[in-house]
Amino acid sequence: MLFVVSLTSLLVPTPIAAQKEKTTLIFKDGSVKTGLGKLTGNRIKFRTNKKEKGVKYDFSLLKEAKLSGKTYVSLGVKGKEKPKVLERLLVGKVYLYRTVDLVYTSYVGNLGGFRGRAGVGFVGGGQYYNIKNFYVRKKTENEVTHLGSNQLFTKNFKQAASNYFKDCPKLVKRIQNRALKKRDLKEIVQFYNNQCH
């Protein structure tokens, strides 16, 4: 029996943020604006109140932006030409950042009796889900390094993390023996910040 499956994925490459969040913009010249905003790619649409027309500010003008308690910055990524807008999760000797991209996957075709894992959309439908990518940066570095994501097929996290934290053998040992895994990335960064010199 012949069947064709067409997998279409649409990646929305913007950090997920609701519209009209309480926002503080901190500009590189030291000035500050407070109001309402939302992220749109490498820019932020901002207004001081609901009645005002929104103005788009490029992140190249900003030191950082705070939206509903979350802090966003724009940084260069090692091996990439363009900077990324990242949510800052941890601060210390090593900073931890992430991006959250919304992906829509649709399955189109005659699947016959095909059945898949729960939560996956099939004929006539699809599913939205978040892809989270994590980045790290030491205080001495100008760019962030991509260290993994929540996708199934990504680079070898154990090797990438061991290489990045190689100046802390006791942490590398815990990564190598899988005492700390990709899901423990926050704990890994906190371990480095608190116990490595």
Q: What is the pLDDT of residues 98-121, one digit of tens each?
A: 998 877 776 555 444 444 444 444
pLDDT score, position 125: 62
Q: Which residues contact 102 (CB under 8 A, 6 or more apart)?
A: 11, 12, 14, 16, 128, 129, 130
pLDDT score, position 25: 97
Condensed to tens digits (0 to 9), the pLDDT of residues 135-191 reads 999 999 999 999 988 775 556 889 999 999 999 999 999 999 999 999 999 999 999
133's enclosing H/E stretch is strand 125-138
- pLDDT (average), residues 131-138: 94
The answer on pLDDT for 30 being more than 90 is: yes
- pLDDT (average), residues 32-50: 92
Q: What number of CA atoms fall less than 13 Å from residue 6's CA on the CB side? A: 7
Percent of the chain with pLDDT over 70: 78
Compute how many other C-beta atoms are within 10 angstroms of the C-beta atom of residue 161.
24
The residue to which tokens 């729960």 are assigned:
118
Q: Who has greater pLDDT, 74 or 116?
A: 74
The answer on pLDDT for 79 being more than 60 is: yes
Q: Who has greater pLDDT, 197 or 135?
A: 135
pLDDT score, position 134: 94
pLDDT score, position 115: 43
